[in-house]
Amino acid sequence: MTEPSIPAAPQGATGILVLADGTIVWGRGFGATGSAVGEVCFNTSMTGYQEVMTDPSYAGQIVTFTFPHIGNVGTNDEDVEADSPHALGCIVREDVTAPSNFRDQKPFDQWMAEQGRIGLSGVDTRALTRRIREAGAPNAVIAHDPDGNFDIDELLAKARDWAGLEGMDLAIEVTGHQTKIWDGDIWRLGHGYAPLDNMDSQTGGNGKRPHVVAIDFGAKRNIFRNLVKAGAKVTVVPAETSFSEIMELQPEGVFLSNGPGDPAATGQYAVKVIQQLLETDMPLFGICLGHQMLALAAGAKTVKMHQGHRGANHPVQRVGGDWDASEGLVEITSMNHGFAVDGDTLPDTVVETHKSLFDGSNCGIRITGKRAFGVQYHPEASPGPQDSFYLFEKFVSGLG
């Protein structure tokens, strides 16, 4: 195979993206210096770049933002989904400008540097997005050197040697490692995440909140906040927590969180636990990776997607018949996944409840005869903005 010619570095280039097929993309580096290897994906959201960068589901990925102006509102300590960023880096069209927002605490480029994440600006992100759509999400190396000195052969070899996300269990790398009571709450302007004035107001004032054990495969914080908002008490446990350890906590329901990597790989230890929970008729609710592993536990299969679904504008239709009276209604959803449940492999015991109107892929299931359901999208991300909060209410109201 003939290697693509390497374009000369334009004047002022301090950043580079080297794809495994030899494609070179030059730009202006910002944030941390150095290099990182991962899968390049694209995200179509217009806002929420800080939430994207800190979402554990983006572990192992370099995010191309299709919206050209990223960084305009700066960063703050509240708009994060984990203790630290998990996306390896980001690619943007325009240079990061000075922030303009009353909640800003720090410019995005400074935040990226402090968090050890590499940014690349000045890139034709539309062309890169088309490249991903046509050829699939590539393995690549993103690098930043203020002097513009790059060993391209070394970076290319690094991109080609990376094994890719298929077969990779990343949940074990991003999960928390201790069981803990979730004591956070929903955000309010001027109060941040301060507790609600009356924590029992949504439970009829009786002080009894149904207990949900949330298995953390790389969960976003806002999921836990929405479970609390819906009326639950939440205990978070690590990804490898056993069935017996979960049952010792006396849950009234178990939540299966989102997370990164290949669900089949994480399922090597998680699926057996989920199957044991199903045998006890434990109420289960899964989101994204949790949804995929619930499907695996029920006998379905998952597949690596060509380009994945990532953004805050994905239309999903409810198709579940008796699962919900509002069959046919369309929700605007937020998504972030590179793997999907193969709808053709759903057994007779599983009903498809939601599907993507972009490509018809599976976006929701329920298991007949069990109190168990899952969705591929992220209701906690509040697109719509409240189209999907009913899922948390449905889960929590059915406990006890």
**288, 291, 331, 363: which one is catalytic?**
288
**Cα(3)–Cα(83) distance, integer angstroms:** 41
Judge contact between 135 and 41, C-beta under 8 A: no
Supply the angle between the helices 263-279 and 289-297 in degrees, to the nearest 10.
Answer: 60
Using the structure block, give the residue that is written with the tokens 């899968």. Answer: 39
**144, 291, 309, 378: which one is catalytic?**
378
Judge contact between 252 and 212, C-beta under 8 A: yes
What are the tokens at 22? 């030899």
**39, 81, 331, 380: which one is catalytic?**
380
Establish whether 309 is a catalytic residue. no
What are the tokens at 232? 């639950």
Give the sign of the dihedral formed by CA 388, CA 75, CA 86, CA 307: positive
Total residue length of the chain:
400
**Cα(66)–Cα(311) distance, integer angstroms:** 10
**Quick one: 29 exposed, middle or buried, by C-beta within 10 A (0-12, 13-18, 19+)?**
buried
Count CB-CB contacts under 10 A for residue 382: 16
Helix ranges, the chain (H)? 49-54, 108-114, 125-135, 152-161, 171-174, 221-229, 243-248, 263-279, 289-297, 390-397
**Cα(298)–Cα(255) distance, integer angstroms:** 16
What are the tokens at 12? 């002022």
Give the sign of the dihedral formed by CA 119, CA 125, CA 127, CA 128: positive
Judge contact between 254 and 284, C-beta under 8 A: yes
Judge contact between 378 and 324, C-beta under 8 A: no
Establish whether 177 is a catalytic residue. no
Using the structure block, give the residue that is written with the tokens 């299969």. Answer: 301
Residues marked active site are found at 288, 378, 380
